Amino acid sequence: MVTEIYVITKTFPKEEQFSLVSQMRRAAVSIPSNIAEGAARRGNKEFKQFLYIALGSLAELETQLMIAENFNYIDSQKETSEALIYIRRMRSKLIESL
């Protein structure tokens, strides 16, 4: 997902480099980073907290993809959106299992 977002945002206008591009890249990196940090914690309660933070970043990224589509920076975010939904479902199931 991170690589895909970096590739997508390379084509954005230069004036978006320090706004939308930066926000999207940070959100994309935040998702696996929070999962990794939570997994390194001692208990399920802390891990669960970091999974919720990752879900928040996922929602943020999905919104930013919709904004990019509205500005015609990307043709269609359907595939990416479907991937985000799939990831969100997996994370939700993982949270429920803890």
Mean pLDDT of 69-95: 76
Domains of the chain: 16-97 (1.20.1440.60)
Q: How far apart are the first and last CA of the chain?
A: 24
- The residue whose two tokens read 């975010």 is 77
- Residue-level pLDDT at 98: 66
Q: Select the more confidently predicted residue: 10 or 92.
A: 10
Cα(27)–Cα(13) distance, integer angstroms: 19
pLDDT digits (tens, 9 = 90+) for 22-57: 999 999 999 999 999 999 998 889 998 998 899 889
Mean pLDDT of 16-23: 95
0.85 cut: is pTM over it?
A: no
Task: Quote the mean pLDDT of the chain.
Answer: 87
16-24, Cβ contacts within 8 angstroms, sequence gap of 24 or more: 16/73, 20/64, 20/67, 20/68, 20/73, 23/60, 23/64, 24/61, 24/64, 24/65, 24/68
